[in-house]
């Protein structure tokens, strides 16, 4: 009975996630669709063909978004992992102040903070470069990654590490063979969130990239400001695919008990 309820809940979530994509798919293949028709009068592959056209720059923008997103996710985990271990695993003075400082980049309006970063990057020669966009994407992703990993390590007692040290393991061996495998699901969730935050960045990329670094969100916003819902819908489908795939990976390969702690602080509730 409980298993059936779990499957029913999963089907309901899947339906709710898929429902907003229905009009996008219809528009992406629409040739002529006028009000008040319920379905297009004509069908066309113009929107899908636009994705492969060299002049549309969709492939290059998608590759840029993937490269930046994956790099940002890896770097955010590398930076956020020791921060999460220190904040979640130990109690020390001024811990609350440190957490507040870590959260400042996402508490301050991004436009205000990015203007200051932009001036600094101009002096350093990082403006209008891929490296500059990569670095500025770390500003919103590292705080989220650090806080997610803080919640993971706050639930751990450290008994397994102490047992490993008692059996002769050095600190690095205890971390590599005990701590990291235990925290791997939480690290994966943190990396997924970092990737999705980077993937969806528009303002930061526009200001720091200066139009030289073109990503998929920039093409999507440009198409949405025009008057071509077919092209906009096709780009929106491509833009949404990583988020859907990330959700599928999280539900398929991560155990519910392991992901609950990582997602609970965001109000996502139980996965099962």
Mean pLDDT of the region 171-175? 80
Per residue in 29-54, pLDDT (tens digit) is 887 777 777 778 788 888 888 888 87
Cis peptide before 195 (omega within 30 of 0): no
* Per-residue pLDDT, 271: 41
23 falls in which pLDDT band (50, 70, 90)? confident
pLDDT digits over 72-87, tens only? 999 999 999 999 888 8
pLDDT exceeds 90 at position 272: no
The larger pLDDT score, comparing residue 142 to residue 255, is at 142
| The architecture CATH gives domain 2-264 | Orthogonal Bundle (1.10)
pLDDT above 70 as % of the chain: 87
Domain locations along the chain: 2-264
pLDDT > 90 fraction of the chain, expressed in percent and rounded: 26
Q: Residue 145: which pLDDT band, with cuts at 50, 70 and 90?
A: very high
């Amino acid at each position: 009975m409980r298993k059936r309820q779990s499957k029913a809940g999963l089907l309901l979530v899947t339906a709710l996630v898929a429902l907003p994509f229905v009009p996008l798919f219809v528009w992406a293949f629409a040739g002529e669709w006028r009000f008040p028709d319920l379905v297009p009068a004509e069908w066309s592959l113009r929107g899908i063909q636009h994705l492969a056209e060299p002049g549309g720059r969709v492939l290059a923008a998608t590759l840029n978004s993937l490269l930046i997103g994956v790099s940002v996710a890896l770097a955010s985990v590398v930076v956020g992992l020791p921060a999460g271990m220190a904040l979640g695993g130990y109690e020390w003075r001024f811990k609350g102040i440190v957490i507040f400082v870590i959260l400042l980049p996402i508490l301050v309006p991004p436009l205000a903070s990015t203007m200051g970063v932009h001036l600094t990057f101009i002096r350093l020669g990082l403006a209008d470069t891929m490296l500059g966009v990569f670095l500025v994407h770390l500003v919103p992703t590292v705080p989220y990654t650090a806080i997610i990993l803080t919640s993971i390590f706050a639930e751990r007692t450290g008994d397994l590490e102490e047992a490993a040290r008692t059996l002769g393991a050095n600190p690095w061996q205890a971390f590599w063979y005990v701590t990291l495998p235990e925290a791997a699901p939480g690290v994966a969730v943190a990396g997924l969130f970092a990737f999705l935050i980077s993937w969806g960045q528009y303002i930061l990329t526009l200001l720091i990239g200066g139009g030289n670094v073109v990503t998929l969100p920039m093409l999507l916003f440009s198409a949405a400001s025009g008057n071509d819902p077919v092209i906009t819908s096709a780009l929106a489908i491509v833009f949404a695919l990583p988020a859907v795939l990330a959700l599928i990976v999280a539900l398929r390969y991560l155990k519910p008990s392991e992901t609950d702690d990582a997602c609970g602080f965001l109000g996502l509730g139980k996965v099962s």
